[in-house]
Chain A
Amino acid sequence: MTRYILRRVWYMLLTLFIIATASFFLMKILPGSPLNAEDKLSEEQKEIILEKYGLNDPVPVQYAKYLGGLVQGDLGVSFKFDNTPVTQILVDRIGPSALLGFQALIVGSILGIFLGLMASIFRNSPIDFSSTIIAVIGTSIPSFVFAGLLQYVFAVKLGWFPVALWGTFEHTILPTIALAIHPLATAARFTRTEMVEVLHSNYIITARAKGVAESGIILKHGLRNALIPLITVLGPMAVGLMTGSMVIEQIFAIPGIGEQFVTSVMVNDYPTIMGTTLLFAFGFILIILIIDLLYGLIDPRIRLAGGSK
Chain B
Amino acid sequence: MKKKYAWLLALSLVLSMFLAACSGGEKNTADDDKKPADDAPEVEQVLNFINGDTIPSMDPGMVTDEYGIQFTAAIMEGLYRLDENGKPTEGIATKHEVSEDGKTWTFTLREDAKWENGEPVTANDFVFSWRRAVDPNQGSEYGPYMMGGVIKNATAVNKGEVPLDQLGVKADGDYKLVVELENATPYFESLTTFPTFFPLNEKFVTEKGDTYATSADTLLSNGPFKFSSWTSTANEWELVKNPDYWDAKTVKLEKMTYVVVKEPQTAVDLYEKGEIDRAGLSSDLVDQYSTHDDYTVEPDNSVFYIKMNQTKNPALKNVNVRNAIARAFDKQALVDEILNNGSIVANGLVPKDFVPTPDGKDFREASGDLMEFNVEEAKKYWEKALTELGTDSVEIEFLGGDNEVSKMMNQYLANQLSTNLPGLKVTLKEVPFEQRLELDTAMDYDMQFAGWGPDFLDPYTFMNLWLTGGGNNQMGYSNPEYDKLINETATTLALDPEKRFENFLKAEKVLFEDAAIAPVYQRAGALLVSPKVQGVFTNQFGATYEYKWASVGAEE
Contacts and interface: CB of A to CB of B under 8 A. Distances in A.
Interface of A: 31-33, 35-45, 48-49, 52-53, 80-84, 88-89, 92-93, 107, 111, 114-115, 118, 122, 125-127, 130, 148, 151-152, 154-156, 159-166, 168-170, 173, 177, 250-253, 255, 259, 263, 268
Contacts of B21: 154, 160, 173, 177
A155 B270 CA distance: 10
A122 B141 contact: no
A92 B233 contact: yes
Contacts of B148: 45
A94 to B, nearest CB: 11
Interface of B: 2-3, 5-7, 9-10, 13-14, 17, 20-22, 24-29, 31-32, 50, 53-54, 56-57, 59, 62, 64-65, 136-142, 144-145, 148, 158-159, 210-214, 231-236, 259-263, 265-266, 269-270, 272-273, 275, 431-435, 437-438, 440-441, 455, 471-472
A189 to B, nearest CB: 16
Contacts of A118: 9, 13
Contact of A255 (B6, B159, B235): B235
Nearest to B137: A52
A84 B159 CA distance: 26
6 contacts: A31-B435, A36-B141, A81-B214, A156-B269, A250-B262, A252-B266
Contacts of A45: 141, 144-145, 148, 158
Given A37-B142, A53-B139, A122-B9, A92 B231 contact: yes
A52 B233 contact: no
Given A122-B6, A127-B6, A170-B25, 4 more contacts: A41-B145, A83-B232, A92-B233, A115-B13
A35 B262 CA distance: 22
A268 B137 CA distance: 21
Contacts of B145: 37, 40-41, 45
A43 B437 CA distance: 12
Contact of A170 (B13, B17, B24, B233): B24
A163 B5 CA distance: 37
B438 A81 contact: no
Contact of B64 (A36, A165, A255): A36
A122 B298 CA distance: 61
Given A82-B213, A83-B212, A160-B26, A36 B433 contact: no
Nearest to B17: A111
Contacts of A156: 269, 272-273
Nearest to B273: A163
A6 B148 CA distance: 58
A151 B64 contact: no
Nearest to B10: A127
A61 to B, nearest CB: 19
Contacts of A250: 262-263
Contact of B235 (A81, A83, A88, A166): A166
A93 B54 CA distance: 12
Given A88-B233, A161-B25, A173-B21, A52 B273 contact: no
A127 B260 contact: no
B454 to A, nearest CB: 11
Nearest to B262: A250
B139 A32 contact: no
A197 B17 CA distance: 27
Contacts of B159: 44, 48
Nearest to A263: B53
Nearest to B434: A32
B139 A127 contact: no
Contact of B25 (A37, A107, A160, A259): A160
B470 to A, nearest CB: 10
Nearest to B455: A40
Q: Which of A82, A165, A250 has the largest number of chain B CB atoms within 10 A? A: A82
Nearest to A33: B434
A40 B440 CA distance: 12
Contacts of A122: 2, 5-6, 9
Contacts of A37: 64, 141-142, 145
Given A44-B159, A159-B29, A164 B233 contact: no
B56 A80 contact: yes
A43 B455 CA distance: 19
A250 B54 CA distance: 13
Nearest to A249: B262
Q: Which of B25, B27, B275 has the largest number of chain A CB atoms within 10 A? A: B25
B141 A41 contact: yes
Contacts of B139: 48-49, 52-53
A43 B144 CA distance: 12
A72 to B, nearest CB: 17
A130 B12 CA distance: 12
B31 A168 contact: yes
B141 A127 contact: no
A253 B263 contact: yes
Q: Which 3 A-B pairs have the closest CB atoms?
A: A32-B434, A255-B235, A52-B139
Q: Which of B139, B141, B261, B438 has the largest number of chain A CB atoms within 10 A? A: B141
Contacts of B64: 36-37
A84 B213 CA distance: 10
Contacts of A88: 233
A112 to B, nearest CB: 12
Nearest to B275: A163
Contact of A84 (B214, B235, B433): B214
B207 to A, nearest CB: 14
Given A81-B232, A82-B57, A125-B3, A52 B13 contact: no
Contact of B13 (A53, A127, A255): A127
Contacts of A40: 141, 145, 455, 472
Contacts of A33: 434
